[in-house]
């Protein structure tokens, strides 16, 4: 049975169902919007656009987070002189946490990615498990660890050598996040995650290293380095993808 992109994307959003709103509708959502644009002219011509929107809602017992990201790049073909798309990626993820106490929580997470050049029509997963904020200092500095299990469904652009058009099965998920306030206006961010297939052993790992500094008011600059590595990929695609971004970030 094939699963549509629309159904999976709706499932991701629903996985962070705003249960907290029912608990306290008076608490507003917080968020940040991020935009990075790089355009070069001359011997070579290229355009790169990175965009991100993140939302967070937290009350006494619940914490909801959602994030949408997109990456687009085009460059001038040396032979034809025409612009061609070299990267196009869309990512959505949502998570809800039920807090047992100040440190421990249960999480439910959904993720969806559509990468035009990955060899997949889309990649998706849903997982649930236990989390612990093992260290926290102030509002910005913390260390958080999570472990759980879930299900992965990846639809291939072309069937594999066995005629299968999808990768699916149970996964184990491990993740960690470390934020550290270097000063009142500077923040270091490190995020790590890996999902391992129980049946096939295929691992998908992702890392984000970023430095964020306040410019004025709610406006900040952010330098980020993201790496995604897959132990097995469709033919003709690379196992490792990297992104370097410099963007303006607005908090609200």
pLDDT of residue 65: 97
Q: H-type helices in the chain, by residue range?
A: 5-14, 19-23
Domain count, the chain: 1
pLDDT of residue 25: 57
pLDDT of residue 164: 85
pLDDT of residue 83: 84
More confident: 66 or 45: 66
User: pLDDT for 119-149, tens place per residue?
Assistant: 999 999 999 999 999 999 998 999 999 999 9
174 in Cβ contact with 193 (< 8 Å): yes
Long-range contacts of 218-226 (CB under 8 A, 24+ apart): 218/250, 218/251, 218/252, 219/248, 219/249, 219/250, 220/248, 220/249, 220/250, 220/251, 221/246, 221/247, 221/248, 221/249, 222/34, 222/246, 222/247, 222/248, 222/249, 224/189
Apex 52 CA angle, 181 and 66, nearest 5? 80
Which run of H or E residues covers position 43? none
Average pLDDT over residues 149-155: 97
Q: What residue numbers bound the domain in which 17 lies?
A: 5-251
Mean pLDDT of the chain: 89
More confident: 6 or 149: 149
Q: What is the CATH number of the domain that holds 159?
A: 2.40.160.40
At residue 236, does pLDDT exceed 60? yes
* The two three-digit tokens of residue 179, written as one number: 């934020």
Which run of H or E residues covers position 44? none
User: pLDDT for 79-90, tens place per residue?
Assistant: 787 888 988 999
Please give the model's pTM, rounded to 2 decimal places: 0.86
Distance CA 50, CA 111 (A): 19
Q: How many CA atoms lie within 13 A of 224 on its CB side?
A: 23
The mean-pLDDT minimum among 2-6, 162-166, 188-192 falls in 2-6
pLDDT of residue 66: 97
Q: Distance from CA of residue 26 to its chain's centroid?
A: 28
Which run of H or E residues covers position 59? none
């Amino acid at each position: 049975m094939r699963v549509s992109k629309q159904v999976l994307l709706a499932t991701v959003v629903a996985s962070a169902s705003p249960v907290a709103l029912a608990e306290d509708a008076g608490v507003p959502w917080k968020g940040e919007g991020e935009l990075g644009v790089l355009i070069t002219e001359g011997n070579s011509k290229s355009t790169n656009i990175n965009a991100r929107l993140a939302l967070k809602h937290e009350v006494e017992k619940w914490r909801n987070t959602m994030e949408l990201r997109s990456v687009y790049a085009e460059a001038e073909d040396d032979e034809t002189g025409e612009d061609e798309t070299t990267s196009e990626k869309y990512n959505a993820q949502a998570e809800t946490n039920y807090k047992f106490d100040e440190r421990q929580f249960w999480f439910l997470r959904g993720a969806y990615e559509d990468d035009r050049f990955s060899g997949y029509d889309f990649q998706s997963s849903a997982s649930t498990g236990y989390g612990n904020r093992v260290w926290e200092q102030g509002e910005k500095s913390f260390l958080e660890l999570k472990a759980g299990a879930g299900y992965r469904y990846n639809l291939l652009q072309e069937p594999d050598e066995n005629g299968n058009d999808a990768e699916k099965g149970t996964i184990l998920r491990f993740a960690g996040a470390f934020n550290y306030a270097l000063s009142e206006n500077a923040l270091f961010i490190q995020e790590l995650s890996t999902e391992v297939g129980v049946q096939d052993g295929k691992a998908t790992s992702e890392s984000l290293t970023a430095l964020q500094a306040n410019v004025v008011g709610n406006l900040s600059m952010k330098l980020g380095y993201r790496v995604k590595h897959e132990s097995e990929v469709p033919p003709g695609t690379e196992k490792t993808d990297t992104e370097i971004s410099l963007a303006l970030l607005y908090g609200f």
